[in-house]
Amino acid sequence: MTDRQSKIAVVTGAGSGIGRAVAVELLRAGWSVALAGRRMETLEKTVALVPGAPSLAVRTDVSRPEDVEALFAAAAELFGRIDLLFNNAGTFGPGGVPVEDLPYDAWRHVVDTNLNGAFLCAQAAYRRMKEQDPQGGRIINNGSISAHTPRPLSVAYTATKHALTGLTKSLSLDGRPYRIAVGQIDIGNAATDMTARMEAGALQANGEVVPEPVMDVADVARTVRHMAELPLEANVQFATVLATAMPYIGRG
């Protein structure tokens, strides 16, 4: 993927956190990027971090099929093709709520965003990657450490992230005939606004609240770029990137 014209990415959840870091990394590396998120003002702030780079900001609620279709139609119309989807948009939902007290609406919001939204974006990308010439592309799903091991009182988030692993595997298998490579990055404690509370103290399996270390989100962005820039004959199926000393191995 050395031709600038071939490097076209869609990044969801690009207005903050990991999505912003990945969008900026790709833009600085010469990619053209369509940035999706719920708020235009935050997307525009991301774009402003790399002045003059080829970009498109599209207000998108990934849980709405019509929004997703409009996003990919706009990206394909402007840039001509889709080479990469970083399927990143997601939400933790309400934290610290016992299973028996979790409102159905809260459960549904997490499922609609983290799982249904990921499916809709992957489906839209898949359709274009299958039909475009040259055929193919890459989808990278943002999983989580919680795709492997849950935190206490996180049933909705954990369930969707486990499901995302199944989505990744199925898309990877079904994409083989069409040169569509699909992988997943599982991230633990990247320093963003969403994880700021980890440094203050996070609930552990033994009931204690303990501060946890975090890592620079730029390290995650560089890993995504590495995965994205591999030739389509190679794929990082699963990558786990985490703060070295976070309580994951031996979470208990």
The letter for the amino acid at 144 is: S
Pairing of strands 202-203, 209-210: antiparallel
C-alpha span between 26 and 214 (Å, rounded): 23
User: Is 157 among the catalytic positions?
Assistant: yes
User: Of residues 104, 126, 157, 178, which has the active-site annotation?
Assistant: 157
DSSP codes joined into one string, the chain: ---GGG-EEEEESTTSHHHHHHHHHHHHTT-EEEEEES-HHHHHHHHHTSTT--EEEEE--TTSHHHHHHHHHHHHHHHS---EEEE------SSS--GGG--HHHHHHHIIIIIIHHHHHHHHHHHHHHHSSS--EEEEEE--GGGTSPPTT-HHHHHHHHHHHHHHHHHHHHHGGGTEEEEEEEEE-B-SGGGHHHHH-EE-TTS-EE----B-HHHHHHHHHHHHTS-TT----EEEEE-TTSS-TT--
Residue 103: both structure tokens together: 């409102």
Q: Please identify every residue annotated as catalytic.
A: 157
